[in-house]
Every structure is written in structure tokens, then in C-alpha cells.
Amino acid sequence: MADLKSKPLIVLKGVLFLGIALIAFALLLLEHPSVRTVVLAVLLAWGSCRFYYFLFYVLEKYVDATYCYAGICALISTILKTRRQRC
């Protein structure tokens, strides 16, 4: 699959991801309306974003510049291949 290069489509993709997150959050609140649910959902979103940042920025910039991946699946695939080669 080719990389997405159109700036408007990249922005649209980001907006659609935000829409998915907001709809999921709203549906979760409708099912379990409580402060605890809000706090846990916010912590889940924040922690997930920080983990994603770690995987695709921190590892590349501060650990190893060769860690440059298109996505989480590519990263996991490379890690698994590396582990198999060590054994």
C-alpha cells in the first residue's frame, strides 16, 4: 500500500480518528455514566497516546535511529524476527 501524501486526506484521516474516539467515548458514557468511567477513559486515551509516542518517536530519536516503522504491526513483526534470529 502506498503512503498517503495528500495533505487534505491526511487531515481528514486525523479528524476521522478523532471522531471514532469521541463516538466510542460517548457510547461508553451512555452505557456507564459515572465520573470513574470518565477518568478511566481519559487515562486510557492519554496512556495510549504516550505509548504510541514512545514507540514511534522516542525509540527512533533516543534509542536507535534504525527504529523507523510504518506502524505497530511492522514494529512487532521486526521485533519477532529479531528474537527468532538470536535463538
Cα–Cα dist 30/23, whole Å: 10
pLDDT in tens, 56-85: 888 888 887 877 777 788 888 887 887 777
pLDDT in tens, 17-38: 999 999 999 999 999 999 999 9
Report the C-alpha dihedral over residues 21, 39, 44, 62, rounded to 10 degrees: 110
Extents of the domains making up the chain: 7-86
What confidence score (pLDDT) does residue 9 get?
A: 94
pTM across the whole model: 0.69
Q: Where are the alpha helices (DSSP H) in the chain?
A: 7-31, 35-53, 72-86
What confidence score (pLDDT) does residue 69 get?
A: 76
Report yes or no: 38 and 29 within 8 Å, Cβ to Cβ.
yes
What confidence score (pLDDT) does residue 41 get?
A: 95
Angle at the Cα of 43 from the Cα atoms of 39 and 54, rounded to 5 degrees: 170
